[in-house]
Structure 1
Amino acid sequence: MLNNYKSQVSGFLVEAGKRINTTSDFWIGARSYGLPGSWNWTDGTSFDFTDWKIPATVGSFCGAFDIANGFWNPMDCSSKKSYVCKTDETATTATTIKPSKPCPNEWFYFEETNSCYFWADSSDWPTAENTCKSFGAHLMSVHSFAEANFTKTIYNGKFWIGLYSNSNPVDWNSTWQYTDGSPVDYTKWGNHQSHDNSRCVQLRYDMYFENLNCTTINYGICKKPSTKVLPTVTATITSTTQASPYCINDWFYNSNTSSCYTLTPSVNWTQAEEYCLFNHAHLTSFHDRYELNFLYYTFRQATSYSDAWNGLFSTDQGMTWQFTDGSDFNYRPWSQGYPIRNSTYCGVYDLGSNYLQNSRCDYSNYGICKRSAVL
């Protein structure tokens, strides 16, 4: 049955390639954002069928169909290729009623924020912000992963956003703010430079934040409210309503610990802990098999079952261990033969075996951050 389905899909794509006069490969809507197993379709449908010739790896972000062999290949998104679009049959049905546009010409509308977005020419950060102001807008604020992901429909690269700091020097404790005055309620830092002049922030192609010198030349994306009037929704909350636990986008909630967890980029142990600290968290502690199993089932696919930093560290050559969050190390599921007492004084969680190990702190691994949920 699966082979029959594969042949139907491949046959259709080969025919589609002929119609666009290409004899090599062309883009399909498969897209990844840097982590193994994170592929999805750009139209939002379920990614429940794959036909890769080679495994999709980190750094290969877009899918292409190879007419020669009928398989998919993970490719660099900056490559230039032909492409095939897909639309519903009803999408071409003519209508005599045209709804008013919520955004000016050449601006992009995002329904989740009810806002309009525009791609500004490359410039330094102050010039980009002034350009946006001339359109009655600001450099964009980012309030969710979905909003960051939406920008890929405008520009698939790094660009200025409206986040900046007046701190001197800039460090992990600096205060950040948006030029449009909206709250800083979503941050996903990749690199965070501790330099006096790195006060302006770009959104990278992998949707991580990075602060840079404000004189760096970048494209910018402007954002302003749309003209669409949304219906008013009134909600009544009684005194018996229980508050729900809340984790921001890309954080995962564990009801047993009332905590939120997320992955850091692949960095060394110290950088992973700094990343967590900047997000008001620490590298994860764990206190029973239930919590460890939660980490295993939540992050094993995203890390390809590899090691992930946790908050354990030792200052006495592996004799004693402690968590960066100060909690007790009262559950010790060491792998057989661990801990190793030499120069490996940082804790890693082996997502292949679901047990604890220790490793050199200067290796690069994903890290798992943990913080209390907002109740």
Structure 2
Amino acid sequence: PWSSCRKRLLLCLYLSCFGSIQTSVSCPSGWTLINSRCFLYVPTDMTWANAEKNCLSMGANLASVHNMNEYRRVQNLISAAGHGHLLNSVLQEKTWFWSDGSPMTYTNWCLKQPDNKAGHQNCLQMNYSGKENCWDDVECHIRRPSVCAKKG
């Protein structure tokens, strides 16, 4: 009886100590963990709508970035793949927003951007302008690689 009771006690202690430990955030194979979200570089040139549709098919959205550190890490992901510009957010009624619904609190626009040239530049491309790697507004039918992001 004592042996059985001791085993149950040890099991209870084990469960109370270790059962509540949260598992660390993990990403599917091929995705990169950045700030508790999983990011995937998609090298295929697509329009904004097709890129977002592709991300949605993987349970993600086109990547949003919320601070300079996060943007630099996403840039590193793109650089590691050996590519440059990519499509990201969208403009509606003069308000920029991320497709995942998060607010656009951080921006890295190039000088004199966004300019909405010809009144049709409603999408954003990142890593524009060579070494500056700033943001530029472009027409949404432009085809670029993209980065998807989802919660880890």
Structure 1-normalised TM-score?
Answer: 0.33
Report sequence identity in percent. 24
SS at match of 2:95: coil
Q: Over aligned residues, Cα RMSD in angstroms?
A: 1.9
Q: 1: CA distance between counterparts of 2:115 and 2:61?
A: 23
Amino acid in structure 2 at the alignment position of 1:289: M
Match of 1:302 in 2: 81
Counterpart in the other structure of 2:121: 344
- Give 1:354 shift: 2.8
Kindly state the Cα deviation for residue 315 of structure 1 after the two structures are TM-superposed: 2.3
Matched AA of 1:239: G
Question: Among 268, 280, 285, which residue is 2:64 paired with?
Answer: 285
- C-alpha distance in 1 between matches for 2:136 and 2:79: 16
Where do residues 1-375 of structure 1 align in structure 2 (5 Å cutoff)?
238-239=18-19, 241-254=21-34, 256=35, 258-264=36-42, 265-304=44-83, 306-310=84-88, 312-316=89-93, 319-341=94-116, 342-350=119-127, 352=130, 353-373=132-152
Superposition deviation, residue 243 in structure 1 = 0.6
Q: How many residues align?
A: 132
- Equivalent pair of 2:110/2:136 in contact (CA under 8 Å): yes
Q: Distance in 2 between matches of 1:289 and 1:262?
A: 18
1: CA distance, partners of 2:97 / 2:111: 20
Deviations for 1:95-136, whole angstroms, at most 9, x for unmatched residues? xxxxxxxxxxxxxxxxxxxxxxxxxxxxxxxxxxxxxxxxxx
Task: Tell me if structure 2 keeps the 8 A contact 1:276–1:282.
Answer: yes
Give how far 1:242 is off.
3.7
Structure 1 unmatched runs, 5+: 1-235
* Alpha-carbon distance change, 249 to 302 in structure 1, aligned in 2, over 3 angstroms: same
**Secondary structure of the corresponding residue to residue 56 of structure 2:** helix
SS at match of 1:362: coil
Q: Tell me how far apart the structure 2 counterparts of residues 294 and 357 of structure 1 sit (CA, whole Å).
A: 19
Higher helix share: 2
Deviations along 1:196-242, one digit per CA (max 9) or x if unpaired, are xxxxxxxxxxxxxxxxxxxxxxxxxxxxxxxxxxxxxxxx9933644
Partner Cα distance (1:270, 1:280) in 2 = 15
SS at 2:92 equivalent: coil
What runs of 5+ residues in structure 2 fail to find an aligned partner? 1-13
Query: TM-score by structure 2 length?
Result: 0.79
Tell me if the contact between 2:32 and 2:40 (Cα under 8 Å) persists in the aligned partners.
yes
The CA deviation at 1:350 is: 1.1
Shift of 1:301: 3.4
Larger Cα-atom Rg:
1
Residue 303 of structure 1: how far off its partner (Å): 4.2
Q: Which has the higher contact order (CA 8 A, sep 6+)?
A: 2
Counterpart of 2:64, as a letter, is S
Deviation at 1:274, TM superposition (A): 0.2
AA paired with 2:91? S
Q: Partner of 1:275: helix, strand, or coil?
A: helix
